[in-house]
Amino acid sequence: MSIAVRNLVKNYGDTAAINDISFDVKTGEILGFLGPNGAGKTTTMKIITCYMPPTSGTVEVDGLDTAAASLEVRRKIGYLPEMNPLYLDMNVIDYLEYSAQLHALRGGAMQHRIKEMVHVCGLEGVRHKDIGELSKGYRQRVGLAQSMIHDPEVLIMDEPTSGLDPNQIAEIRALIRQLGRAKTVILSTHILSEVQATCDRVLIIHEGKIVADGTPAQLQHDFQGADTITLELKTGGADPLGAVAPKIRSAGAVTGVTLLAQGDGHSTFEVHADKGTDIREALFRVAVAEGWVVLEMHRRVTTLEEVFHKLTTA
Amino acid sequence: MAALSLSLSNVGPIYRRELRSYFNSPVAYVVIVVFLAIVGWYFSSNLFLINTASMRVVFELVPLVFLFFVPAVTMRLLAEEKKSGTLELLTTKPVRDAEIVLGKFLAAWSLLAATLAPTLVYLITLMFLGSPDLGPVIAGYIGLLLTGGVYIAIGIFASGLTENQIVAFLVGLLIVLALFLADKVLIYMPSVIAPTIEYMGIDYHFGSIARGVIDSRDIIYFGSVMGFALMLATASLERRKW
């Protein structure tokens, strides 16, 4: 079940919420939408789920156009909107039954799906409680359960873990990974570790445009600056600045050495090298040749946070 | 137009949820009790004054009570879901906007019928005391249901315009009041348009039905106003797409 988004534009009055966005999601892929608030993530999702049409451009879900075959598309999609709206006066089972019926499930098939979702989402203990009495974590599970009740092939989730505590986030994330295994998933978030933990691919959106597209590792690599290595050595009596630093500098592509700390025969350096060169082996050989002990060597990698920051503050 | 192809299997769940939501909260019971108290008091205090076995007083009063009662019942139907965001969830299910409106309309109409049903007790009382003419009574009830239906359709339209239930109530009240008063302000109207205004007046049509004459002109009036208001309500949902 693939999704093809082509030249999507959405204007609210004079302001463009999204401005010429195109991307594809392959079957079985989990795509993460990243972007600051107001970047156009929610708008894009609302268009894909047929809540509202774009100003121009098209979205096709499994080859079906969202404008021409809206009902068909909606049958294939499970949607968890931002803020997870629920009917607080309904109890969990009644609500799931209602959601199932809106997806034309009836009788035994419906009961089977409800039972399964209650089990998978861990709702056994609260099935007859009113949704209004549930904690935020349980409400989120109910939201997930309703979005999956018809076993959709496409799952679209707008900030599924916002407002949850760290334990609940871990639970919901595990649930998404488990449930999303055989599905095409688009989820938006502003928690970057979430993208790293759950997504195959990341789209970073900024001011209505896509500014980066790739796997988390790819993006980290692409936006990697100069290599930085933290090196802690046990050098005995050698003078850190006078004797050790020059030796380090002699190892390959090193562009700079800074002494961070010293004392008791130990010294810690920050070693800078040209982008993309891994000088750890060369450093190790220098240490061995000099009879120093390497206590710690750590290559700092650009985090997704830094990539995000770089792309969305420019 | 999408409204032409509706699936009852989609209307059903929406209808049932809405009806259950009425009866799960105290709102329905309070509204019904207040309605019956007003109508009952008016009926009983007039019965021996007029001293005839007739339901006329009920049919005079109920359309007036409906003016306030119906917008109060319909004000939350779309506004509440807009405010809480559940409307977004509902409209991204494979259901047509017109099916959502129709399900809610039928639920409110059922509540209205359930509210009217206990007034049949007055009829039974009358049958003990005398022999009321049943023709106008049956016609009167049909008239009340049709009038209520028109008010409900308008109320849903008003509810679709806003997320604020108070605003929905006031807008609904204003429109039904205009329809109710249309045939009562004819003396202020130029004679050219007076007949048109009179035809617009809902009480004019209710009055002719309540006399016991079910005329196709009145039925067409009720049907078309109801249909038109429901189309507007559907359009108010689709407004997100403009």
Please, which pLDDT band fits residue A102 given cuts at 50, 70 and 90?
A: very high
For domain A227-306, is the CATH number 3.30.70.3190? yes
Reported as a single tens digit per residue, the pLDDT across B119-155 is 998 889 888 888 888 888 999 999 999 999 999 999 9
Dist CA B133 CA B143 (whole Å):
16
For chain A, give every domain's residue range. Answer: 3-215, 227-306
Dist CA A159 CA A41 (whole Å):
10
- CB < 8 Å to A52, chain B: 240-241
Amino acid, res. B3: A
Query: Could you tell me if A98 lies within 8 Å of chain B, comparing CB atoms?
Result: yes
Residue A254 dihedral angles phi and psi, to the nearest 5°? -65, 130
Q: Which of A75, A87, A88 sits opposite B94 (nearest CB)?
A: A75
Please, which pLDDT band fits residue A85 given cuts at 50, 70 and 90?
A: very high
Is A297 in a helix, a strand, or coil?
strand
Reported as a single tens digit per residue, the pLDDT across B11-49 is 999 999 999 999 888 878 988 899 999 988 888 888 777
Q: How far is A47 from chain B (nearest CA, A)?
A: 10
Residue B1 above 50 pLDDT? no
Residue B1 is assigned to a structural domain of this protein: no
| Domain A3-215, architecture per CATH | 3-Layer(aba) Sandwich (3.40)
Reported as a single tens digit per residue, the pLDDT across A91-101 is 999 999 999 99
Dist CA B169 CA B175 (whole Å):
10
Dist CA A266 CA A293 (whole Å):
9
- CB < 8 Å to A85, chain B: 84-86, 88-89
Amino acid, res. A313: T
Please, which pLDDT band fits residue A60 given cuts at 50, 70 and 90?
A: very high
Instruction: Give the least confident one: A9-13, A151-155, B3-7.
Output: B3-7
Dist CA A290 CA A238 (whole Å):
10
Residue B141 is assigned to a structural domain of this protein: yes
Cβ atoms of residues A131 and A142 within 8 Å: yes
Is A155 in a helix, a strand, or coil?
strand
- CB < 8 Å to B93, chain A: 74, 99, 102-103
Please, which pLDDT band fits residue B3 given cuts at 50, 70 and 90?
A: very low
Cβ atoms of residues A212 and A21 within 8 Å: no
Reported as a single tens digit per residue, the pLDDT across A183-231 is 899 999 877 777 887 888 999 999 899 998 998 888 877 777 777 888 8
Mean of pLDDT values over A64-81: 93
Reported as a single tens digit per residue, the pLDDT across B50-74 is 777 678 888 889 999 999 999 999 9
Cβ atoms of residues B178 and B202 within 8 Å: no
Tokens coding B100: 């959502």
Candidates B146, B166, B115; CA nearest to B227 is: B146
The A residues from 219 to 278 touching B (CB cutoff 8 Å) are: none
pLDDT at A65: 94
Helices (H), chain B: 8-24, 26-50, 56-74, 76-84, 86-91, 97-116, 120-129, 134-160, 165-181, 194-200, 202-210, 216-238
Residue B81's domain spans which residues?
Answer: 6-241
Q: What is the DSSP letter of A49?
A: T
Q: How many structural domains are present in chain B?
A: 1
